[in-house]
Amino acid sequence: MTRTSPFSSTDDVAAAIERTERFLRRKQAPDGHWRAPLEGDTILESEYLLVRAWDGRLDGATVRGAADRILSQQLAQGGWAIYPGGPVDVSASVKAYLALKLMGHSADEPDLVRAQRAIAKAGGPWAVNSFTRFYLALLGQMPYTACPAVPPEAVLLPEWFPVNLSRVSAWSRTMIVPLSLMWAFKPVRFVPADRGIAELFGNDRDPSGPPMPTDASFWSRFFRGVDWGMKACESLGLTPLRARAVQACRRWMLARFEASDGLGAIFPPIVWSIIALKSMGCDDDAPEVQEARLQLERLVEHEPDGTVRLEPCRSPVWDTAITLIALTEASHGRTGVDPASDRAVDWLLANEIRERGDWSERVDAEPAGWCFEYANRFYPDVDDTAMVVIALQAWRKTAPDGDRQAAVGAAISRAVRWLEAMQNADGGWGAFDRDNNCEFLCKVPFADHNAMIDPSSPDLAGRVLEAFGRVGLTLGHPCVDRALAYIRRSQEPDGCWFGRWGVNYIYGTWQVLEGLRAVGVPVDDPLVTRAAKWLEVHQQSDGSWGETPESYADRGLAGSGDPTASQTAWAISGLVAAGRGESSAVRRGVTWLVRRQKSNGTWDQDEFTGTGFPQVFYLRYHWYPIYFPLISLARSRRAGAIARREQVA
């Protein structure tokens, strides 16, 4: 009697690889790049409607579609979550509720009655975060005194001062400057009472503001005192530098509109910049206002069901680099020119950033690198730059000599030198700046978005190590050795690593293992074996892996959650990098992927496995469950082939 293998055959794996490869090739844009949908939670649609309401532009099919999407995402218990399967989030829920009221929904509608109960249970409107308070103040639902002070004078603080603009993270910087202009002018558009949220406050509509924070640490109390002092000075008119500061903020903001998909090329500062410009007196037809509105509307995506989804930003560089890696891995062993890959390489080369940005205030290096979006001149980032280096080097190994090969080599050399210069003193890397790690700044009253600074993270260190290893920088190189020391220090007691930019410990552990292998760390090093063991222990009974975003709040949930194709792919690739490509765990994971692949070469995945701000904002990269499984299947196939050749030999 013939027994059927519980694992997918090599032919099954090859067929799965071919299907996904075909899918991705069909999706390439004519100019060579790829871009997949990028999805956040309903705070984007809510904030879009709130700013449109303040701007007097709450009409048209787009706003109706955004409201429909908000309703479609309401939880059964009445509130809104910040990721599928997550608990009710009070800030997201209050903004969604106000957006629906502004669109004409009544407080006594069943959906809104359920929302009222959920919001009350979650703490009520006074429990919302700082950025939500500003939206409520903007529309007359909360006094500005309930918001933390964001004085424009901060932009005047010199570099040598312990607190200054360059010491906060790049994304916070782009939000703080326009927000400070909003604070200075305190714009309000009062809405009719029946369009407001008075019913959410109930008998708790206390004009004195929210209750005092419970954090009694020194820096928290210090910054609360500063906040009180600044508000007291403003109430007395003691703002002698205000006019100068306002103009400095305006110049700073408008300078960063240049060669950018909006300020910071991300949704929040684009919205705040519209409010800031109009608060300063700019007319609707002013070029800068028109530009900010244009960039906001470019983030609108119309869904097949008629709803409207707002993207937090666009991800062409990231998607192009990873897709190029995936296609290179899938075509390993083939010969001949690949026009699709060549077009992608040309697009990446054309989008290299060769001008100085905010990073250069602390780093003296030749400008190089890549951003995440189509255009974000001031903010190339370490993660995208390292991923592009990996992609270009993968292409370079099989491409013929010529002008393109030379151009790629030069771009890689510049990028590597820039990455070396961006290394933090602790041996790791942040995303946008070097040594952006002043932890006391996380205690300022408006730092509750959980990303006030940009310190080293293991996943970024792992990716840079992978890029370095691909170009020949291995153990013994000073940058590599410092990074390895950081990686050793940051390994968790149970063997995994934290993932700042993907959910979460599965992501971090995979990426570090890739980096360790690339720079030559032996697979029998305890650093590697403990991490591989952690991945194996957290494999689910059906062969998959999954992890909930809740693991950022609850360490006990590390490596636990509903299975996803992207996280299963990361775990497989991590184990392959750890020298376990022929293990039962890898074969079971591969089988899980192959058997769940759709006929068009994709996988279903509604879960959010990308991270914007831990515990605050998560992302669904629609192609994470496509190009990452392709990479893992291709690498596991090659690892199996190598193992079989070794057995024969």
Q: What pLDDT sits at residue 210? A: 63
198 to each of 32, 98, 204, 522, how far by Cα in Å? Answer: 52, 10, 10, 63
Rounded CA separation 293/71 (Å): 25
Rounded (5°) CA angle 320-623-65: 110
Q: In the chain, where are the structural domains located?
A: 1-30+506-649, 41-310
Helix (H) or strand (E) holding 39: strand 38-39
The domain made up of 41-310 is a member of CATH 3.40.50.410: no
Positions marked catalytic:
383
Helix (H) or strand (E) holding 22: helix 10-26
Q: What pLDDT sits at residue 207? A: 45
Look-up of token digits 């903020």: 249
pTM given for the model: 0.95
pLDDT(168) > 90: yes
- The contacts of residue 284 (CB under 8 Å, 6+ apart) are 278, 290
Q: What pLDDT sits at residue 2? A: 39
pLDDT(512) > 60: yes
Q: What pLDDT sits at residue 1? A: 35
Mean of per-residue pLDDT scores for the chain: 93
Task: Report, as an integer, the average pLDDT of 381-404.
Answer: 94
Confidence of residue 29 (pLDDT cuts 50, 70, 90): very high
Rounded CA separation 254/257 (Å): 5
Q: Is 476 left (phi over 0), alpha (psi -120 to 50) or beta?
A: left
Asked if 499 and 458 touch (Cβ cutoff 8 Å), the reply is yes
Rounded CA separation 404/335 (Å): 17
pLDDT(3) > 60: no
CATH class in words for 1-30+506-649? mainly alpha
Q: What pLDDT sits at residue 236? A: 87
Q: Which of 201-215, 379-393, 475-489, 562-576 has the lowest mean pLDDT?
A: 201-215
Asked if 576 and 587 touch (Cβ cutoff 8 Å), the reply is no
**Helices (H) and strands (E) in the chain — how many of each?**
23, 5
Task: Report, as an integer, the average pLDDT of 261-289.
Answer: 95
- For residue range 14-26, list pLDDT tens digits in order: 999 999 999 999 9
Q: What pLDDT sits at residue 334? A: 74
Helix (H) or strand (E) holding 519: helix 505-519
Confidence of residue 208 (pLDDT cuts 50, 70, 90): very low
- The contacts of residue 84 (CB under 8 Å, 6+ apart) are 606, 607, 608
Q: Identify residue 538 by its one-letter amino acid code.
A: H
Confidence of residue 647 (pLDDT cuts 50, 70, 90): low
- For residue range 318-366, list pLDDT tens digits in order: 999 999 999 999 998 676 779 999 999 999 999 999 999 999 999 999 9
Confidence of residue 5 (pLDDT cuts 50, 70, 90): low
Confidence of residue 132 (pLDDT cuts 50, 70, 90): very high
Which has the closest alpha carbon to 408: 347, 362, 320, 452?
Answer: 347
